Amino acid sequence: AQKDGKIRSIGVSNFKPAHLERLIQETGVVPAVNQIEIHADFQQADMRRFNAKHGILTEGWRPLGKGLMDNPVIVELADKHNRTPAQIMLRWFSQNDIIPIPKSSNADRMRANLDIFNFTLDAGDLAAIAGLEAGNRLGGDPDTHVEE
């Protein structure tokens, strides 16, 4: 469809490097975006590097994770910057070139989620968040997950 001009680009979701390599090898198509689970305790640094190396944007679903709003590191950074914990986590996404997709039906929270571009996390802040990596996947593993 892309070669026929019917679509400009494709996006994929939850593709690991092997999935992307197969797609590229068999079709010659490099997706524009790969939407994957990312949050402070499941950062997927290797996957993000793979995407970047191939010119694929990384979009993160579930960016606020589970229980991270009360994580002492996130709360301390929120206090330091006079922000909400969600804003700290979303700013981390922005500074790591990840497109976050936060879920909210509350208009005030939606506005707050957008108010992340007038402050910067410093190197120490970024290192503190990097230290939260724990490999805690909340969704199913793309290699083994089956929808019921």
Q: What is the CATH number of the domain that holds 99?
A: 3.20.20.100
pLDDT at 146: 66
Q: What is the reported pTM?
A: 0.89
Domain count, the chain: 1
Question: Has residue 3 been placed in a domain?
Answer: no
The answer to whether residue 66 is domain-embedded is yes
What integer pLDDT is reported at residue 89 of this predicted model?
97
| Residues spanned by the domain of 34 | 11-130
Residue type (1 letter), 88: I
85-140 pLDDT tens trace: 999 999 999 999 999 999 889 999 999 999 999 999 999 999 999 999 999 998 87
In a domain, 49, yes or no: yes
- Whether residue 139 is contained in a domain is answered as no
pLDDT at residue 76, rounded to an integer: 98
- 60 within some domain: yes
Mutual angle of helices 72-81 and 85-95, in 10-degree steps: 90
Q: Is 31 a domain residue?
A: yes
| Distance (Å, whole) CA 103 – CA 112 | 12
* Residue 13 clears pLDDT 90, i.e. is over it: yes
